[in-house]
Amino acid sequence: MKFYMAPGSCTTGIHILLEELDLAFEVYIVNLPAGDHLKPDYLAINPKSTIPTLVLDDGRPLTEFQAIAWWLARSYPKARLLPEDAVGETLVLETMDYVVQTLHGQGFARIFATDKFALRPEDHEAIKEQGRQIVAKGFAILDSVLAGGSYLTGAFSIADAALFYVEFWADKLGIELPPNCQSHFRLMLSRPAVRRVLREEGYHSLVA
C-alpha cells in the first residue's frame, strides 16, 4: 500500500493505525505549504487534494480519515479496532466523526487556516478565538465520554487514534486538555505504535 501523509497532521492518526496493524506500506510525504496536494500527479490520485490518502494494493485510492480508519478496522478484524456489536461500532464512528468534523474541521481549522474563514486580516483573531471556543467545548464533551481517563470505549479503537491527533495539536499549541483527555493523551503516548510513529514523524521530545 502507499500512504500519502504529512507529519504532525491528521494523517498521524492513520499512521498510528497502520503501525498498530503492523502493515507493510510505502510513505509519501505531501508537503502542504509547498502545494504538493495541488500538483497534477497527486490530483490524479486524489482529486479532492486532501490528506490522508491510502492507495491499496490493487491501486484503488481511499480518502477521508473516517473511511480509511473504518476500512483498516474491517479489513483486519483480529486487531479489534472496532467493537463487535453494532451499538459499540456506531458509538466509535459517532465519536470519530465528531472529532474529525467538529474539533478538527470547525475548531482547529479556524486556528490553523484562519484566512479560509475570514478574508479581512482584522477579523482573524476573532475567528481564531471562535476556533478555540469550539475546541474547548469539544474536548469538554469528550472528557465526559472518557470516564476514568481510559480509551473511548474501554478498549483501543480507531476513534482513539482520531482523538489523539487533536490532543497532539492541543499539546503543541499549549491548549490545556481537561483531566480525562489529558489522561487519554498520556495513555496513547505509552503505546509502542504511537511512540514509533512520533519518532518517525520527528516528534522525539514527546517520547523521550
Return the active site residues.
9
Cβ within 8 Å of residue 61, ≥6 positions away? 45, 46, 53, 54, 55
> For residues 92 and 159, is the Cβ–Cβ distance under 8 A?
yes
Contact 188, 159 (CB under 8 A): no
Give the cell for residue 205.
521530545
C-alpha grid cell, residue 45: 490520485
CB 174 within 8 A of CB 111: no
